[in-house]
């Protein structure tokens, strides 16, 4: 591990990373994150691994409360040597396909799970599964840590970062981290109770469709509060927010807040990156970039997103199937959530509070299917039960439309580790324009740009915070993207159709090559 020293050069940091240490720069200090904390980090290990060798000051401040930030001092091993106060970033090993795993002797060792593919744009690092036939080296080399050329200026990005820090202080001074329990969550709770009572009353009168619609709307609305709880944006205490989140997400909604936090934090930190952001990795059904035609490796799902003739066929129809797919989006959430809980059952490296929260989540999911199963059984027949199931789940689909509206039409380019946190979020995220009176329909999360910059700010304060963010964007010459709900849907359908058309061409070329090969074979 080495003793604490006064100042670390970039070369020395690189050597220690290659030796297996997780080193991160925070306010010109060097943090060494031990393996024990990588395993226990509430936001998941990937949230840390994506910033090894990089300056993560803005991300750390955005995601952590003052109490947690105070604990970070225990991981400081010195300062870093900078040029004019600017740290020149390295490429995190995970972004070039290298991860640390337990070897046969029980010790951590480098494992090559993927390899960078050649890119037409020099700044991009997209991963494909490595050739298992090739002999793996002992680990990454210095060349793996050197960022490829990029079009963005390190000095400009440092300016954006400094301005973001000043903006963050304005957000704090304005009291926008304070939760509005009465004026914010008061109407929310009343709405939840109204929908729950309406669903129960309609069910008791055998108005099954009405009951299913009200239940679906309840789930739709509850997700917004679960979202806040996952970001520690309600009580701002991890244990309290997690317990309430499990009650709402698992016991009432049948989903896993643990899975959501693990997935969502990565999405926030590497937004719209084809190889790393799980929220845009939906093959074989959806692709928002032709980059997915390369059968990319997902560092989150740990699998190859295979693009073949069958995938090309489905993608060629994606703009036509888009709303149908999102209509069944909740079933996909079940699959991801339960897969996560199953994996965690065999994971002895559970995150902070992992044991009791995992157990409570499993109990919650079982409880959900007991009461919801009883509801379906009480419908009286299989046809009515299936109708109730489908209606209640399809009613939640506008939520899935809203989620993709904020990102699917935005850039999926990788500008490299030089890009600052605020620049990346403004480039990959957009707002949905909505009058204040209707903001509850979107749960206040139509203000996604501001939310991505300040994820812990309670959503009832996002509108006020967005005014400050727009001023920041204008001063820094950055684009604050926003569009209406209808036009936003049009933008996404246009993106999907463009990728679909190219997938269709790829399929036609493949068919032609097969026919030509068969013709030559028959000669």
Model confidence at 308: pLDDT above 60: yes
Q: Please determine, for residue 208, whether its predicted confidence score (pLDDT) is greater than 50.
A: yes
At 441 the pLDDT is: 82
What is the rounded distance in angstroms from the CA atom of residue 351 to the CA atom of residue 363?
Answer: 18
Average pLDDT (224-242) is 93
Average pLDDT on 51-58 reads 95
Task: Give pLDDT, residue 252.
Answer: 97
The mean per-residue pLDDT over the stretch 359-382 comes to 96
Rounded Cα gap, residues 118 and 97, in angstroms? 14
The beta strand positions in 113-162, using DSSP E, are 114-117, 126-129
pLDDT single digits (tens) 436-474: 888 888 888 889 999 999 999 999 999 999 999 999 999
CB 340 within 8 A of CB 255: no
Q: Are 453 and 422 in contact (CB under 8 A)?
A: yes
**Is the omega angle on the peptide bond into residue 364 within 30 degrees of 0, that is, cis?**
no
- For 368-398, b where at least 16 C-beta lie within 10 A, e where not — what string? beeebeebbeebeeeebbebbbebbbbbbbb
Q: Mean pLDDT over all residues of the chain?
A: 89
- Total residues found in the chain within this entry: 523
Global confidence as pTM: 0.91
Summarised one tens digit per residue, pLDDT across range 70-121 is 888 889 999 998 888 899 999 999 999 999 887 777 788 899 999 998 766 6
């Amino acid at each position: 591990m080495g003793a604490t020293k006064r100042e670390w050069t970039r070369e020395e940091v690189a050597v220690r990373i290659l030796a297996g240490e997780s080193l991160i720069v925070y306010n010109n200090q060097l943090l060494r994150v031990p393996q024990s904390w990588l395993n226990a980090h509430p936001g998941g290990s990937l949230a840390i691994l994506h910033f090894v060798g990089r300056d993560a000051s803005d991300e750390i401040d955005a995601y952590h409360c003052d109490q947690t930030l105070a604990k970070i001092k225990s991981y400081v091993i010195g300062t870093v040597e900078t040029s004019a106060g600017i740290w020149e970033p390295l490429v995190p090993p995970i972004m070039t396909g290298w991860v640390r795993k337990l070897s046969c002797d029980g010790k951590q060792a480098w494992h090559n799970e993927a390899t960078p593919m050649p890119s037409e744009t020099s700044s991009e690092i997209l991963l494909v599964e490595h050739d298992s036939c090739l002999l793996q080296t002992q680990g990454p080399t210095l060349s793996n840590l050197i960022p490829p050329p990029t079009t963005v200026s390190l000095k400009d990005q440092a300016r954006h970062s400094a301005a973001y820090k000043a903006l963050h202080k304005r957000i704090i001074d304005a009291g926008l981290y304070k939760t509005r329990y009465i004026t914010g969550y008061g109407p929310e709770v009343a709405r939840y109770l109204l929908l729950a009572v309406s669903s129960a009353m309609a069910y008791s009168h055998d108005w099954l469709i009405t009951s299913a619609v009200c239940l679906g709307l309840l789930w739709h609305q509850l997700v917004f509060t679960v979202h806040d709880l996952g970001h520690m944006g309600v009580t701002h205490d991890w244990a309290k927010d997690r317990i309430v989140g499990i009650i709402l997400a698992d016991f009432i909604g049948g989903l896993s807040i643990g899975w959501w936090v693990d997935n969502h934090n990565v999405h926030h930190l590497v937004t719209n990156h084809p190889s790393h952001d799980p929220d845009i990795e939906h093959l074989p059904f959806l692709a928002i970039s032709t980059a997915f035609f390369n059968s990319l490796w997902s560092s989150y799902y740990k699998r190859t997103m295979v693009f073949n003739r069958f995938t090309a066929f489905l993608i060629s129809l994606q703009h036509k199937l888009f709303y149908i797919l999102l209509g069944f989006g909740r079933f996909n959430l079940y699959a991801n959530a339960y897969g996560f809980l199953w994996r965690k059952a065999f994971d002895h490296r559970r995150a902070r509070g992992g044991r009791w929260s995992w157990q409570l989540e499993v109990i919650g999911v079982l409880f959900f299917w007991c009461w919801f199963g009883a509801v379906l059984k009480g419908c009286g027949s299989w046809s009515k039960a299936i109708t109730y199931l489908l209606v209640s789940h399809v009613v939640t689909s506008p939520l899935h439309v809203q989620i993709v509206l904020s990102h699917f039409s935005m850039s999926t380019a990788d500008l490299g580790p030089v890009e600052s946190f605020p620049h990346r979020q403004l480039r990959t995220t957009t707002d949905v324009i909505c009058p204040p009176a209707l903001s509850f329909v979107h749960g206040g999360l139509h203000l996604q740009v501001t939310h991505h910059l300040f994820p812990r700010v309670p959503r009832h304060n996002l509108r006020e915070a967005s005014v400050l963010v727009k001023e920041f964007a204008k001063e820094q010459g950055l684009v604050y993207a926003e569009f209406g709900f209808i036009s936003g849907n049009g933008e996404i359908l246009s993106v999907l159709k463009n990728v679909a058309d190219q997938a269709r061409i790829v399929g036609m070329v493949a068919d032609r090559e097969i026919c030509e090969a068969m013709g030559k074979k028959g000669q």
